[in-house]
Amino acid sequence: MAADFGTGATTIAEFEGETSEFEVLEFVATELTAAVGHSAAATTYNVKVNGFGVFLLGLYPGAFTDIDPDSLRRSHPRHRLEIFGGGIWHNIVLAVFAYLMFLWTPYILSPLFAEGQGVTVTGVDSRSGLYGTGGLAEGNVVISVDDCSIRKRDDWRGCVRRLENHRHGRCVPRSVVEASLASKTSMSLDELHCCDDFANITHAHMCFESMIDVTTKHLVTKAYSLNRVLRVGAVEVGESTMYNPAQEAVHKERKRSRRFSCLSAQYVTAQPTCSEKSNCIKAGEAEERICVFAALFNGTQLARISVKGHLITYVRIDPLVARFSWIPHYWAEAVELVPKYFFTLSLALGLLNSVPCYALDGQYIVITCVNWTFKKFSRRRRQQLISLILTVGTLLLVANVIIGFVKIVL
């Protein structure tokens, strides 16, 4: 696999270290939005609001709304439902607004970032075969993978899927390959090294695998065996005995052998393409060309290291490309993360508060709905129904949380 890309000199390490602060601040903002929603609904129906604010319970930040209980009790059940659901409604509205802002991000950033001119690499997981020297780096702009042009995110996925079915190499002159053959290889941190014996190499050099025809010579001595001599009755060897002296012959055996060469990646990617099923075709050239493939990590081919999984799962990209070299590539991702976090947190908080569970808005919604809908039932039966609904909802929520933690650990 060969990729054409530009380099970027900035890093997002500091930005990644600040994402947790972004999450905390936006979580507090979503909590405040819910509190404002309760207060706004209560004020609409003339229910007294004593105030609202934020609190910190251990490491958990939150917000609260202090509504006068007597005034709330005297209000109509439908008004109470709107007050209890006001926070949920405001969180859902905020999530929709954040989603629209996320869709408009490319237009907002258009003066500084362009879309449709490739994809920017914003991160490479250390488990990926493309991590480290010779692989992809943060800030690289990928415009093609082999002969597959990339202009947007969908093109990236399409080219990756294409790599799953086609292994591409490059046709390199035989003299260049043989001059760079490695006499020995070594493994370090699950990475194949074959350039240690060469001088004047740079980080742009990497190991390439090729199948080369190697001729081996075997020296064979032909002589009469004792059994053959006995069979013909020639036990004594005298002057009159006729025999042929021992002869030596050289047998040549030609076979294909896998060898590794240390070559410049930039030089190799500039050569004509080839594949496993098609050899290098001589186009009037006197010198033979050999099809070479990038070889990294445990001696396996780069195109065989679960290409689709590594490029999609372990390589993080952004469809926006900086228009100017002085613009840090992580600015686009930072702006995109703001509405993305707001959407995720607001929607999650709204759905969580709607669950019929103790200590959530869903508890008061269930109490109001049951008392209003089943007002003909006795107070005891209504309390039993409320307890049943809240207990089942709480158990389901706790079970989902436990399953989620187990999946994370495993």
**Per-residue pLDDT tens over the stretch 136-160:** 788 888 888 767 888 888 888 888 7
Those residues with Cβ within 8 angstroms of residue 19's Cβ, 6 or more apart along the chain or in another chain: 337
Higher-pLDDT residue of 224 and 176 is 176
Q: What is the number of structural domains in the chain?
A: 3
For residue 336, the Cα-to-chain-centroid distance in whole angstroms is 18
* 259 and 184 together in one domain: yes
* 157 and 243 together in one domain: no
* 349 and 360 together in one domain: no
* 276 and 346 together in one domain: no
* 105 and 193 together in one domain: no
* 100 and 127 together in one domain: yes
| pLDDT number for residue 372 | 93
| pLDDT number for residue 253 | 61
* 163 and 194 together in one domain: no
Higher-pLDDT residue of 57 and 408 is 408
* 144 and 4 together in one domain: yes
Of the residues 273, 300, 327, which one is the last residue of a structural domain? 300
Range of the domain at 247: 168-300
* Ramachandran sector of residue 86 (left: φ over 0; alpha: ψ -120 to 50; beta: rest): alpha
* 317 and 327 together in one domain: yes
CA angle, 156 then 162 then 164, to 5°? 110
Q: Is the pLDDT of residue 265 over 70?
A: yes
**Per-residue pLDDT tens over the stretch 214-231:** 666 656 665 555 555 555
* 247 and 314 together in one domain: no
Of the residues 274, 300, 326, which one is the last residue of a structural domain? 300
Give yes or no for a contact between 332 and 325, defined as CB atoms under 8 angstroms apart. Answer: no
**Per-residue pLDDT tens over the stretch 66-101:** 899 999 999 999 999 999 999 999 999 999 999 999
* 116 and 130 together in one domain: yes
**Per-residue pLDDT tens over the stretch 102-121:** 999 989 999 999 988 888 88
Q: Which burial class, exposed, middle or buried, applies to 41 when counting CB atoms under 10 A from its CB (0-12, 13-18, 19+)?
A: buried
Q: Is the pLDDT of residue 233 over 60?
A: no
* 150 and 6 together in one domain: yes
The average confidence (pLDDT) of the chain is 78
